[in-house]
Every structure is written in C-alpha cells, then in structure tokens.
Amino acid sequence: MQTFKENLLTALDRAESEEVVFAALLAEAQRLGFEHCAYGLRLAAPISNPKVLTLNNYPSAWQLRYQQAGYMAIDPSVRHGHLSRDPLVWGEKLFASTETFWSEAKEHGLRVGWAQSSLDGFGVGGMLTLSRSSEALTDTELQDKEIEMRWLVQAAHLSLARLMKPKLAVQLDAPLTPREIEVLKWSADGKTAAEIGDILSISVPTVNFHIKNVIQKMKTANKTAAVVQALMSGLLY
C-alpha cells in the first residue's frame, strides 16, 4: 500500500492540470473496482451561493440531466457531505425522500456508490464519489478497501483543490498592500476603525481609506464581506 501511496502522490504532485489528476484518480478508482469517479470542489464564499466545480466520468446523458434538473440542490449524498466527514454508502434509505432522482440515477448505471467529503483550513470543501452499475458493496469489500478509498479522498482534495481553487477565487484588480492586510486582520478580530488606528498609529480616516481600497479590490459589498473573502482565500495567514 505504501508503494501505491507514493506512486500516486508523485503523479498528483507533478500534475499541471485537474484533468491529469482526475485521470490518475479514475485509474485508482477502477483498480478498486468502481466504474465511475466524481469529485466536487466547493468554496466557502460567497456564503449565499458558493461556487462549485465538478469533475466526473458519469454518462453524458446523466451529467446533462443532473445539471438541467438542478439535482445538486436535492442530492442526499451532497447534503450528507455538507454535514459530515463520515463515509457514506448509497442505499434505498438514503434516497427515500428523492425517489425520482434515485430512479433516474439507477437508469443511467449509478446504482452502487461510496462517498466521503473533506474540508481544509480555508473552508474549501471537496467530495469524492466512487460508484458502479452493479455488485453491491459488501462489508467485506469495505473492510478490505476502505483505507485506500479514504486515503484517495484526501489525495484528491489536496491535488484538485490546488489546481481548481484559482479558477474559483476572486481575482483582485491589484494585490492587497501589507497595510491593507494589517487593517483587515484587525477588522477580522472585531476591532473598530478607532481601535485599529490606535494599534497601528494611524488616523481613523486612514484606516477607512484602506478599508475602502480593500472593498474595491476584492469586489465585495462591505467590510464584513471583504474579511470573509480574505479569510477564505488565505490572504490573512
């Protein structure tokens, strides 16, 4: 197993595109006995409508149906991934409240599945799903393969998040200056403009000037949104 990890990590670390990473993940998924592999990346901001990117080798007809029907909003496995990092095995009980969705998924060859989500320190979430059209996932198979499957989840998130996050992140018109970052950090700690001015030995109008510049650069509506976006983007670390 150590060789498996080392070989896959080497391939993933050297990959320069998410397509190359996904191909390596799919090969491992198929080695583990699954036909399909899917990965979704979800940023923590904007909170009201998080950005999501997905990669999968599902049948094209199912990909189109899933998108057109807005099934991501009701997919029980996606909902589970938002609430828990525990692995999930597909089953009738899981999809009891979404019978039409489940019936259509099975018609497209998605009948047996396993999924687990992950979350990094910046609030970026990911979920890896392994699935196939037949042969139930037995307790014995899970016992034999789950360590590798769970390890694959973490490898997928580390590699794909590295490549996919820049496509979802807010593109700044100009980099934040060291002073703007300082002001944002103190704002994130709940300090008022007057308190920040005292801490940094600058005037309140100067503090507000920096905050205004940050809001413009980050294309946010206000200081609170700028702080959240900066935290999620790792700009304050």
Rounded mean pLDDT of the chain? 87
Q: What distance in Å separates the CA atoms of residue 115 and residue 200, rounded to the nearest whole number?
A: 48
Which domains, ranges and CATH numbers included, belong to the chain?
2-168 (3.30.450.80), 178-232 (1.10.10.10)
What pTM did the predictor assign? 0.73
Which parts of the chain register pLDDT below 50? Answer: none
Q: What distance in Å separates the CA atoms of residue 56 and residue 64, rounded to the nearest whole number?
A: 12
pLDDT of residue 125: 81
pLDDT of residue 234: 72
DSSP, collapsed to helix, strand or coil, labels residue 131 as strand
pLDDT of residue 48: 62
pLDDT of residue 4: 57
Among 45, 53, 23, 26, which residue's Cα sits nearest to residue 162?
53
Tokens 């700044």: give the residue: 172
pLDDT of residue 211: 94
CB 11 within 8 A of CB 22: no
How far is Cα of residue 222 from the mean position of the Cα atoms in its chain? 25
